[in-house]
Structure 1
Amino acid sequence: MEPLWTPSPERVERAELTRFRRAAEAHLGRALPDYRALHAWTVADPAAFWAFYAADAALPLTPPTGAVMSSDPMPYTRWFEGATLNYAEALLFPPALTDPAQPALIATDETGGERTLSYAELRRAVARCAAALRRSGVGPGDRVAGVLCNMPEAVVLLLGCAAVGAIFSSCSPDFGLGAAGDRFGQIEPKLLVGVSGYRYGGKAFSTVEMLTGLRARLSPEVAVVIGEGALEGWVPWESWLGEAAAPQFTPLPFDHPLYILYSSGTTGLPKAMVHRAGGALLAHHREHRLHSDIRAGDRVMYFTTCGWMMWNWLISALAQGATLVLYDGSPTYPDLGALWRLASRLEVTHFGTSARFIHACKAAGERPGDASAFPALRCVLSTGSPLSPAGFVWVYEALKRDVHLASISGGTDIVSCFMGGDPTAPVYAGQIQAPGLGVDLAIFDERGEETVGPGELVCRKPLPSMPLAFWGDPDFSRYKAAYFSVYPGVWRHGDLIAWAPEGGIVVYGRSDATLNPGGVRIGTAEIYRPLETVPEVADALAVGKREDGDEVIWLFVVLQADAVLDEALKERIKGAIRRLSSPRHVPKRIFAVSQLPRTRSGKTVEIAVSRLLNGLEVPNRQVMENPEALEEILGVVGGAQ
């Protein structure tokens, strides 16, 4: 396969990854001629790698008095024993930053409003927030919950919590009372902060009723509101912050809890994952600096909400001395070109989005590169679901030819990536370039034997960004059941992947959503990719339906505006799948729907639809962005019987 992009020798030479590889060679006293050799060292001796990286990055970490990586097996491994740091200090005073007047945050929204905070201004705001938290009796280990838009106040609250050692947790304001309550009700927050309203898709929405119900359910000691709204008994944000204060950063252990993130909760109560401050900082720093080549002064934009782990990932880029571009609202308002125009105007160097958004741009015939050359743009990041080969091609044909397209994959579970970009290597369509440095990634078959795949994504050695614990799981029983029940002692993530001949990684989707017709394992991505050759199909979802003791494939498609799912189109869909995948991949039945059910981070909920069609309960529908899509599927299926 020919690469879509190969970095120039000059670009390879300037990359932070190249500089780091040479520093590692000098440190080890031996050659590491390429990424593969560098990666091999990082997984052969992970304690040495992470210690060297922390020192090379000049992170504000005191020397450990014990082991860098304890000998305890996963999930009990502890890191940098005896060392202390403060996550907020690391982000607000990055060594690479030369001018505190440089913008730290540029916040934009659907209305075109724009606010800019310099590093100096952000430091002062965080100092006020930390002082307000202390006045409110919030200290190390206390939980703070935020129902927040992607706005500067959210960043200030996260960093204020980190400064005092409180544990931060957030969701976006479009979460209903049930979804927010299921999350925050587990952690009993001492302080609740909420935004009284938000805009999405050109419409204004009030959260007053939801916040009132949430406060009654959680009974926090203090409730703070941002924005206008009739919230009796809530303290306005600016009043709560109070006067200017001197910055104070509490030194905390490396493994001190930083924030709690949640699984989607589409098949049960969301898992509350406690992430350690040092682990998040170290993993994000490595991914930003080495895998994405983010440097001081770069402008980084990732479309996300405060309910998706990519928001946490984005905020850590402050530790590079970068400027973050925060966008609040719909990525498609007023049209699919809005974010591209914003990225061009603000000279974004790193643009992050979901595979779903790229696929939508391709399906709509968007060509943002025709309107702007994007001279500042060096990297496009994609995650959330597998990016198809055609999606890769669209980036290079319709956006920019000389850009590093870094498809990345990890999860809320590790608040980081198992695999991602290599800015010094070629990009191939449909492939993630490499496993992350320090990630002992492998592929196991059902017997637990290593294979080239397709098979289960596993991680054989601990990572500092693996959860410290699940909240309310003192004996680690839920934690171990989630990741270690299939391959004892080895982290099984739940993704179906394969090694590509070029050395990259192909992701086929969630292994728990894997189809099994006739006993043959099929990843859903193997069905979706052929559909890119059928222009009438805008989106699709495939599930397994139990019939007569076997499993058959049912396919749900969203069609383009003027298309009709007649017998001719069904046959073309089946023919494309048969030709480009195999006869075993061909669906038995095909249905047209107006929308596919998704989580609030944009992922299709294949497992929920499978449960629905096979007569099983689908709990926690309130966590979905559009639960009414499930009822449409039932109606379409029932009407076709």
Structure 2
Amino acid sequence: MEEPLWTPSPEFKRTTGMAAFMAFVNERHGRDIDTYEALYRFSVDEMEDFWPAIWDFCDVRAETRGERVLVDGDKMPGARFFPDARLNFAENLLRRRDDGPAILFRGENFVEKSVSWAELHDMVARFASALRKLGVKPGDRVAGVVPNMPETTAAFLAAASIGATWSSCSPDFGERGILDRFGQIEPKVLVCCDGYYYNGKAFEITDKVAKVVDQLPSVEKVVVIDYLGKSREAAAQMARGIAMENFLATGDGGEIAFEQLPFDHPLYVLFSSGTTGIPKCIVHSAGGILLKHLSEQRLNSDIRPGDRVFYFSTCGWMMWNWLMTCLASEATLVLFDGSPFAPSERVLFDYADAVGMTHFGTSAKYIDAVKKTGWRPRDTHDLGSVRAMMSTGSPLAPESFDFVYDAIKPDLHLASISGGTDICGCFVGGNPYEPVWRGEIQGPMAGTAADVFSQDGTPLAHGKGELVCTKPFPSMPIGFWNDPDDRKYLDAYFSRFPGIWCHGDFAEWTDHGGIVIHGRSDATLNPGGVRIGTAEIYAQVEQIHEVVEALAIGQDWDDDTRIVLFVRLRDGVTLDDDLVKRIKTQIRTGASPRHVPARVIQIADIPRTKSGKITELAVRDVVHGREVKNKEALANPEALDLFQDLPELRE
């Protein structure tokens, strides 16, 4: 009989933020909620009670909240949360001002530091004051080409304290990729670094940023963070450049003037991956992000004051934005910049033990990559502090669930989560109050009415369909930048099912009330008219020892679609008939005969976005002779050349 991989003990459940919130709701509303199902139903059926309860339980700081909670709640888009509220996002993240650690940081083996709450407050105060002296005001944009380091956090919080809108990308972006993003939003201030470390090497970016600045006439000042020890000389080579230490010296310390702004004031501009054209600029609100993240973090992720929360992310992925909000729960941010495999696969686990991580956040690809090394972290590391492991970026395969509980730690809460840049949060994810079942995301997040729809728009209790959200939620985007009639915004999420958010994931409910994501629905394969998720194929083929990673597309063939599977193999391995047979057998027995590819082709590299996601759509375009419009969005755009004119695709 099937058993869950992890079940929370009664003692564990009593200590969770979920239990504390249930008690809070029961006392306030005279309820008797003691299960997650009951809490979830309350959160989506009684939103006008749930979101104020989150506000009060998490002690949101605001000039005023107002009486109205939800206006036009039957409209999506169009619904507005807390239309009379005035607050400041940064004020809610800078609650403490003591000597305890606010941020712990490692830049591979090159840089290590700890920043106290008092030090962070002072850095933000000086940065914000300096920005104000430049004339930065609410609604202006401050952009960053930055690593995931404490100075970046301070720069963001300084901008947010004024009401400026923050946007960032990682320093490995190319010149065109940076301009495609920031050229649209016209930042007033650009924050950058003098370079970064990756895989044991230093990379200077001064020349690249200088060229970018020359093409961004809106930029009035370039603030250069010192990372390689060359910020002063880097600033001297840039128009309007200044080293961060000199910039901070122009500001005043002391109290921060937190600008009180409407709930839906723009906090972030995040960008779509941009592999099918210029990236979309998705605008998120300060109040919506704060409430949605607090709900996800305090309830579903069980983040508590004093916890030490890590998520491996660059500043170009929305998980960085998500991680920043953990400060609002008075948790310490554990930041890492660089390669998670330099000098070995043990780096992040060494870090976890050294700093006492409570939450270890990473990607499904990272877990799979560690598994393929054959190393078992629990045999060499204590990991006693790690209470939860979170995984996102792509579906976590059932075998990776097994690996976490067998080879990493048997008594942690494994939370596979899924959402996206579009909502800067999650629709479905972890739940520390319920069991973890192999291969399943535990269920919908509190406050999000997630469902699975058939192609004709009816809910599916069983079978695969489109992941949707049927009711409004606070972190719906304000809209897209330079989209005055909301045409692009409506087309992106509401054209498939009017009034229903269609997320673009191919999903399925499980018998346990959990959910499985089968991949992006725009990459869904349709051989013989049957919809197949690419993640279903990857989960099988990546069990083959010789396969490092795989990518599947649908190729137009004989008035139908056939599945083509590309595989990147271990060094020294060549694809032969025996290996092709084993791959096909594994897919046939592990998934179904319909999942078996018509062609299996060895490839030297697989293109992926800057956040590590493989990009089936770009490969599909190359195979069909269509232009890939924005190769700068890729971490390794040269990999696309490998897919051109392959003779195997003509057979």
Residues 591 and 636 in structure 1, CA contact (< 8 A), matched pair in contact too: no
- State the one-letter code of the partner of 2:505: D
* Structure 1 match to 2:548: 538
Report the CA distance between 1:266 and its aligned residue: 0.4
Give the letter for the 1:355 counterpart.
A
Q: Which residue of 2 aligns with 1:355?
A: 364
Please say if residues 130 and 252 of structure 2, whose CA atoms lie closer than 8 Å, have aligned partners that are also in contact: no
Matched position secondary structure for 1:405? strand
Q: In structure 2, which of residues 535, 541, 547 is the aligned counterpart of residue 525 of structure 1? A: 535
Matches within 5 A, 1:209-608: 209-219=207-217, 220-227=219-226, 228=230, 229=234, 231-233=237-239, 234-242=241-249, 243-246=251-254, 247-452=256-461, 453-608=463-618
Q: Distance in 2 between the 1:101 and 1:363 partners?
A: 41
Selected match of 1:620 from 612, 630, 650: 630
Q: Is the 8 A contact 1:373 1:400 kept in 2?
A: no
The answer (yes or no) to whether the contact 1:386–1:508 under 8 Å persists in 2 is: yes
Q: Aligned AA for 1:222? A: K
SS at match of 1:402: coil
**Does structure 1 retain, via aligned residues, the 8 Å contact 2:148–2:315?**
yes
Aligned residues: 637
Alpha-carbon distance in structure 2 between the residues aligned to 1:638 and 1:19: 59
Q: Which amino acid aligns with 2:168?
A: S
In structure 2, distance between residues paired with 1:285 and 1:255 = 16
1:244, distance to aligned residue in structure 2 (A): 3.6
Give the Å deviation of 1:640. Answer: 7.9
Q: Which amino acid counterpart does residue 427 of structure 2 have in structure 1?
A: F
Distance 1:637 1:58 in 2: 62
Letter in 1 for 2:242: V
Instruction: Give the letter for the 1:118 counterpart.
Output: S
Question: SS state of the match for residue 155, structure 1?
Answer: helix
How many angstroms apart in 1 are the aligned matches of 2:237 and 2:289? 35
Deviation per CA, 1:420-460: give whole Å up to 9, x if none. 11111111111111101010011101100110331000001
Point out where structure 1 has 5 or more consecutive residues left out of the alignment: none
Cα offset, 1:629, TM superposition:
1.1
Q: Give me the TM-score of the superposition, normalised by structure 1.
A: 0.97
How far has the Cα of 1:216 moved from its partner?
1.1
Matches of 1:401 and 1:190 in 2, distance apart? 49
SS at structure 2 position matched to 1:238: helix
Change beyond 3 A, Cα 1:278–1:432: same
Letter in 1 for 2:221: V
The one-letter amino acid paired with 1:366 is: W
Alpha-carbon shift at residue 323 of structure 1 (Å): 0.8
- Residue 48 of structure 1 aligns with an amino acid whose one-letter code is D
Q: Structure 2 regions of 5+ residues with no counterpart?
A: none
Residues 593 and 636 of structure 1 are in contact (CA less than 8 Å); yes or no, is this contact kept in structure 2?
no
Say if 2:63 and 2:260, in contact at 8 Å, map to a contact too.
Answer: no
Q: Does the Cα contact within 8 Å between 1:297 and 1:322 map onto a contact in 2?
A: yes
How far the C-alpha of 1:561 sits from its partner, in A, is: 2.8
Tell me, yes or no, if the aligned pair for 2:542 and 2:549 is still in contact at 8 Å.
no
On the 8 A contact 2:282/2:480 being kept in 1, the answer is: yes
Q: Which amino acid aligns with 2:614?
A: T
1:560 and 1:592 map into 2 onto residues whose CA distance is: 11
Give the letter for the 1:16 counterpart.
G
Contact 2:599/2:648 (8 A) holds in 1: no
Match of 2:84 in 1: 82
Give RMSD over aligned pairs: 1.4
What whole-Å deviation, never above 9, does each CA across 1:82-102 have from its counterpart, x for those lacking one? 111111110010xxx6x7211
Secondary structure (helix, strand or coil) at the match of 1:587 reads coil
Shift of 1:28: 2.3
Which residue is 1:122 aligned to?
A: 120
Q: Which residue type is aligned with residue 102 of structure 2?
A: A
Partners of 2:543 and 2:187 lie apart in 1 by 50
Q: Hey, what's the Cα distance between the residues in 2 that align with 1:519 and 1:232? A: 55
Displacement of 1:577 after TM fit?
0.9
Distance 1:222 1:534 in 2: 52
Residue 186 of structure 1 aligns to a residue in which SS?
Answer: helix
- Farther-moved stretch of structure 1 (359-368 vs 21-30): 21-30
**Per-residue deviation, 1:167:** 0.5
Q: State the distance in 2 between where 1:637 and 1:9 align.
A: 60
Distance of aligned partners of 1:428 and 1:639 in 2 relative to their CA distance in 1, 3 Å threshold: closer
Contact 1:407 1:421 in 2 (8 A): yes
